[in-house]
Each structure stands twice: as C-alpha cells, then as structure tokens.
C-alpha cells in the first residue's frame, strides 16, 4: 500500500516559497547581469543589448510574480472569488512564449478562489507534459460552478512525467522520498483538487495529453 505524503504546514509553506523563488531567480539574475554590463561597457551595441535584456527579464519576472500571487498566494480573504479573466491574463503572461501557446475557452466569470488556483496550477502541470513546448488548451468540462476543466496539450515528445500521477494523488514519487521544490507543485495541485472536491485523470495518446478535472 502506497504511503500518503505527510507534510506539515511549515514545510508546505517553505517548499512553495522555494518554488516561487526558483521561478523568479532566473529573470532577476538576468536583470543584475544586464545592469553590470551597463556599468562596465562603453560599446553602444552592448549597452543596447543590456537594456533589451533588462526590459525582457523585468517583464518576465513581473509575469511570474503575478502568476504566483494567484496560483500560490492568498489573493484575497477566505472564501473570495477570482475573475477568470484575471486568471487568463496571468496565465498567458506566465506560459506563452516562442515555444508555447495557450488557447483559453472558458467564460469570464467570478469563480471560487481555490477553483481558480486549481486551474492555474493544472496549467503548470500541463507544461510538464510538453517539455519541448507546444499547444495548451483549456475548456469547460460541465457548466456552472460544479463544472470542471479539460486541459489538452500537444507537442513533440509529449508525455506524462514519471511520478506525476502519484504526486497529484498525494503519494510520494518513491516510497520514503522527501518532497523538493520541484515536486511540491503537483502535490499542491492535488491538495487543491481534494479541497475543492475534484478528481484529476490523465491520458496520453500520440502527441496529446488530456487532463480531465471533474467532481470526484
């Protein structure tokens, strides 16, 4: 029988903070590097390159922080609702680049906070199924407040990553293995699903992975 993950609140908070820091440190580091180039270089071409790097990295850092605020943060008081239009905006800023596109086919409504957080975290899970980029689509699975989501990804070398199903279900990647900042995100997604009463099913066929979210 597989052991359930036993993680106290302090460890959960620490690992989620590590995850956010991991996502933000790269663009922040690039900003620092760009500033150092501006200080040390007299070549106009290099200065222009540094300014472009700083601007691009600042936008990326902002997008990642805005996404983390909704996906991992409190985003209002307990029981608050979140506009799915705001969720779409931060999701596009976080996910879309020259390798990955997002097709969003959800109506704009005010939805329960944890349901929106579940969706945003599922989008992060979805990116792990297309390691070389591709297309991510999200649509309703059933209408109304009780409805869930259907996420589909298509891309080269699509897959369901090892241990993803176990982590979503609240089990460790390997018996006795400790969670790290990488594994905490799918585990947290599973916590959100169980807290909101949803089940998650994954299927892989050809170059397509389907993530079906429905009332459990």
Instruction: Give the pLDDT of residue 211.
Output: 98
Instruction: Give the pLDDT of residue 4.
Output: 80
The string of pLDDT tens digits covering residues 92-136 is: 999 999 999 999 999 999 999 999 999 999 999 999 999 999 999
The string of pLDDT tens digits covering residues 145-192 is: 889 999 999 999 999 999 999 999 999 877 666 788 889 999 999 999
Instruction: Give the pLDDT of residue 187.
Output: 95
The helix (H) or strand (E) run that includes residue 196 is: helix 184-196
Instruction: Give the pLDDT of residue 6.
Output: 81
Residues 42 and 181: their CA atoms lie apart, in Å, by 40
Instruction: Give the pLDDT of residue 70.
Output: 94
Judged against a pLDDT cut of 90, whether residue 208 lies above it is answered with yes
Global confidence as pTM: 0.92
The string of pLDDT tens digits covering residues 54-91 is: 999 999 999 999 999 999 987 655 558 999 999 999 99
Are residues 165 and 172 in contact, defined by beta-carbon separation less than 8 angstroms? Answer: no
Number of Cβ within 10 Å of residue 91's Cβ equals 24
Instruction: Give the pLDDT of residue 169.
Output: 93
Averaged pLDDT, 22-50: 91
How would DSSP label each residue in 87-149?
A: HHHHHHHHH-SSSEEEEEE----EEEHHHHHHHHHHHHHHHTT-TT-EEEEEEEESSSTT-EE
């Amino acid at each position: 029988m597989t052991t359930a993950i036993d993680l106290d609140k302090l460890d959960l908070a620490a690992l989620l903070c590590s995850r956010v820091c991991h996502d933000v440190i790269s663009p922040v580091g690039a900003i620092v590097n760009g500033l150092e180039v501006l200080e040390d270089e007299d070549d106009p071409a290099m200065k222009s390159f540094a300014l472009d790097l700083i601007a691009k990295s600042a936008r990326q850092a902002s997008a990642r922080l805005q996404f983390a605020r909704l996906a991992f943060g409190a985003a209002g008081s307990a029981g608050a609702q979140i506009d799915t239009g705001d969720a779409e905006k931060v999701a596009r800023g976080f996910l879309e680049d020259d390798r990955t596109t997002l097709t969003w086919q959800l109506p704009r409504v005010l939805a329960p906070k944890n349901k929106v957080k579940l969706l945003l975290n599922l989008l992060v899970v979805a990116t792990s199924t297309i390691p070389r980029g591709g297309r991510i689509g999200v649509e309703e699975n059933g209408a109304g407040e009780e409805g869930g989501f259907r996420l589909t990804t298509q891309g080269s070398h699509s897959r369901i990553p090892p241990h993803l199903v176990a982590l979503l279900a609240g089990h460790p990647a390997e018996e006795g293995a400790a969670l790290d900042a990488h594994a905490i995100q799918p585990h947290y997604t599973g916590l959100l699903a169980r807290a909101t009463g949803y089940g998650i099913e994954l299927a892989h066929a050809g170059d397509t992975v389907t993530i079906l979210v429905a009332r459990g």
